[in-house]
Amino acid sequence: MGVGILSGTKVVVGDNDTKSQLKERGFGEEDGKQFFISLIEACYLVEGEKLDVMKADKKVSFEELLKVGSKHEEEFYNKFLVFRDLRSRGLLVKTGLKFGTDFRIYDRGTKDVGEKHSKQLVHVVPEEYTCSFPEMARALRLAKNVNKDMIYAIVDEEGDVTYYLVDRLRL
């Protein structure tokens, strides 16, 4: 099991073996000389007992990581549930921040985001979420402008996830 160091909203991984294992499984990003994973990725790996996260020589628990994530990001736990569900389906999941959404997902078997473009954007919302048609149209228009499908992941009170593909129909 590898080790990462909690640093703000990211977990830095310094060990070369751990880095290569994580890269091979589609986790993390390199930023210059540092390799880091997101808090959601760290939660997923800690929950699956694939990584230990440390802060000041103390092991950080899964629950503590969730608290850190929830302080920095709205609906963090719901996003984690969706991330975990998508990964369990064999999909490569990366941040969708530059597209104004929560995640972008790649086909099964994709290891490196450089080898293919993502095909879907995922927006995570709680069951009680409401939005206007113009808001949904903007999200859909953005997705279509970058040749992607827009998926809404609805998380209910029990933590179950339902996916809705939103598309437009031309008559």
The DSSP result for 7-37, as a single string, is ETTEEEE--HHHHHHHHHTT--EEETTEEEE
H runs (alpha helix) in the chain: 16-24, 39-47, 62-72, 76-88, 133-145
The residues that bridge with 29 in the sheet, in sequence order, are 36
Instruction: Provide the annotated active-site residues.
Output: 106, 117, 148
Joined together, the tokens standing for residue 96 give 């969708």
Rounded mean pLDDT of the chain? 91
Q: What is the pLDDT of residues 110-168, one digit of tens each?
A: 666 666 788 899 999 999 998 888 888 888 888 888 989 999 999 999 999 999 999 98
Mean pLDDT of 61-65: 96
Ordered by where they begin, the domains of the chain are 2-69 (3.40.1170.20), 74-166 (3.40.1350.10)
- Three-state secondary-structure class, residue 41: helix
pTM assigned to the model: 0.91
